[in-house]
Structure 1
């Protein structure tokens, strides 16, 4: 679906986040010269059409004290990963979880879950909760800790 001029302007105005004000749609509408209700309705349509994935708050976990962040990688029995992955995704401290192909022999992992904690000890505790959840379907895991933030934004449309 092609974006019209209003859609492009709306995306440009919101792709960095909604304004942190009591009425964010009205604030965006004021920038674009349209009523806030038009902004809300069009964003809802874009969401329903799959043009945007979600509208929501994205906290800065570093500023909230969650400075130990690790991508946990799991070797889960292939016949169980579709069943167990969604359960892992629902755990506290897991910001995203997804299945990826193995790259044998050196990379046996097929389930990835980003863990956030206030310390490495807290992240290790979360990993042990995942071990317990996966049970005998788990054949191994590792945690790859973040050392730097390289990107914290999504795709940006350019004119």
Structure 2
């Protein structure tokens, strides 16, 4: 990869993995066979693509509903701009928060600037997680809402 242009082999690897790695015992070997190279070359190229930002991450995207987590809520918090970094670190480090990020407010109707996703099997458990975030944030939070998912949407990124 030079100058941001993918080689034909890089493109083949991206195409072979953009829907996910094969669900086999040795996925990089399967990709290598599909694109005509070695597993070591696939892994080395994927590392380079990851380092260059072409691939954002290699990870698992679970279907929370299939795992029994029916209460998936985006918690949104009104945190002062000067406190957002501190609050984000506190909440983002919780083991039950799958992702946490800062988003712009849209005043006067939307004062929330810190977003954190939680997952629970029961409503009471989800409420307890939200309460623990509220307690952790204390006076850093000026208010919050929880937006529970009603269905799962297909999660995909850009496809070649």
| Aligned 1:30-41 pairs, distance under 5 A | 30-41=33-44
Tell me what 1:134 maps to: 137
> Is 2:29 the counterpart of 1:26?
yes
- Structure 1 CA distance for aligned equivalents of residues 148 and 71 of structure 2: 7
Is there any run of 5+ residues in structure 1 with no aligned partner, and where? Answer: none
The equivalent position to 1:149 in structure 2, one of 149, 152, 158, is 152
| Aligned 1:35-54 pairs, distance under 5 A | 35-54=38-57
The equivalent position to 1:116 in structure 2, one of 116, 119, 144, is 119
Q: Which moved more, 1:54-63 or 1:69-78?
A: 54-63
- Structure 2 CA distance for aligned equivalents of residues 109 and 121 of structure 1: 23
- Structure 1 CA distance for aligned equivalents of residues 55 and 154 of structure 2: 19
The equivalent position to 2:19 in structure 1, one of 9, 16, 20, is 16
| Aligned 1:82-121 pairs, distance under 5 A | 82-121=85-124
Superposition RMSD in Å: 1.2
The equivalent position to 1:72 in structure 2, one of 71, 75, 81, is 75
Is there any run of 5+ residues in structure 2 with no aligned partner, and where? Answer: none
Aligned-pair distance for 1:35?
Answer: 0.7
Aligned-pair distance for 1:4?
Answer: 2.0
TM-score (norm 1): 0.93
- Structure 1 CA distance for aligned equivalents of residues 147 and 60 of structure 2: 26
- Structure 2 CA distance for aligned equivalents of residues 17 and 86 of structure 1: 30
What is the number of residues matched between the two proteins? 157
SS at match of 2:110: coil
- Structure 2 CA distance for aligned equivalents of residues 52 and 89 of structure 1: 22
